[in-house]
Amino acid sequence: MSRLPRKALVTGGAGFIGHHLLRALLEAGLDVRVLDNLSSGSEASMPERADFLRGDILNPQDVAAAMSGCDIVYHLAGNANGTLSVENPRLDFEANAVGTFNLLEAALAGEVRRFVYVSSASVYGIPRRFPIDEEHPLSPFVPYGASKLVGERYCRTYLDTYGLSSVIARPFCVYGPGENPELALVEVGRYLRWHLNGATIQVVGDADRKTRDFVHVDDVVRGLLVLAERGEAGEAYNIGSGEETSMRQLADLVGSFTNLVVDLAEIQEVMEDTYRLVASISKLTHLGYSPTMSLERGVRQLVEEMGESPALPTGSTIFHPGQAAEE
């Protein structure tokens, strides 16, 4: 008979996805501890009931202290930014690969009976077939994808060698309220922020041929909870909407909620970003997951939350394989 978890550790619980997960776990009545160094997250929205430990996943003492008394770990902390990984691959490798290793080590030494690792769809690289299922070849083309894949491999190894029950989540393009606009790269928030300020929507690549699978953060949280409870140890699961949206469709949708004319510019020289990306979510739906937030409803909600002139996105999403990112 399965025992109910007593205390959950959420690494990266001050970040975008982490703080939504934290709220869901607290609402479900769990005790939750957060480990976060606030490098991109914020303590501002931390619920009082959360046990917040400011610390670094690269520091084994911080990790051991955070792990103490926890029997389930949701590991989200690390670098979530592909462009930053191109600019600073060491930072990315340390945060995502070494950081995950530190978490696994501490989980093994503690009482953890479930380890949920939040990887990324970036482990697939440029997709070769559609929709992308979990059997698709793993061929990341930016350091971020490689460092997330290293984390996956170590989760698997710690299951096979030491019996640590880990399960791997591969979210696609996550959007929703509470993103850090300076770091967020997913097009939904960026396009809205430009458009609501009357600025040009900058499409990196071809607006019609570039597609993505946008999944609302509430659905990602649902997917993570399903995986914690029912995911098969050692297995990886896509978390997406299963819907494919082109950049032009997204820009049109954004424009349909305002009275403003959509001004769109394609940055054509960056064609490497022009690829299709859509998840097969059947492996996760077999466990009981089903996405509930349509892109239309999610965008409408964000328009209301952002107001008339939200902070503009900063940071480049422009890079060519083999080169450092451009401004």
Ligand X SMILES: NC(=O)c1ccc[n+]([C@@H]2O[C@H](COP(=O)([O-])OP(=O)(O)OC[C@H]3O[C@@H](n4cnc5c(N)ncnc54)[C@H](O)[C@@H]3O)[C@@H](O)[C@H]2O)c1
Cβ proximity to ligand X: between 182 and 269 the closer is 182
Tell how strand 211-212 and strand 245-246 pair up: antiparallel
Asked if 226 and 290 count as a contact pair (C-beta separation under 8 A), the reply is: no
CB atoms inside a 10 Å sphere around CB 153:
13
CB of 57 to ligand X, least distance (A): 4
Footprint of ligand X (CB under 6 A)? 12, 14-18, 35-41, 56-58, 76-78, 80, 95, 99, 118, 120, 171, 173-174, 180, 183, 186
Cβ proximity to ligand X: between 110 and 315 the closer is 315
144 is catalytic: yes
Residue 229: CB partners within 8 Å, gap ≥ 6?
A: none
Catalytic residue from among 124, 144, 154, 158: 144
* Calpha distance 160→108 (Å, rounded): 13
CB of 248 to ligand X, least distance (A): 21
DSSP 8-state secondary structure symbol assigned to residue 217? H
Cβ proximity to ligand X: between 36 and 243 the closer is 36
Tell how strand 236-239 and strand 166-171 pair up: parallel
Cβ proximity to ligand X: between 15 and 205 the closer is 15
CB of 122 to ligand X, least distance (A): 7
**Cα-Cα-Cα-Cα dihedral sign, residues 148, 190, 277, 286:** positive
CB of 2 to ligand X, least distance (A): 26
- Greatest alpha-carbon pair distance for the chain in Å reads 58
Asked if 264 and 314 count as a contact pair (C-beta separation under 8 A), the reply is: no
List, by residue number, the catalytic residues. 144
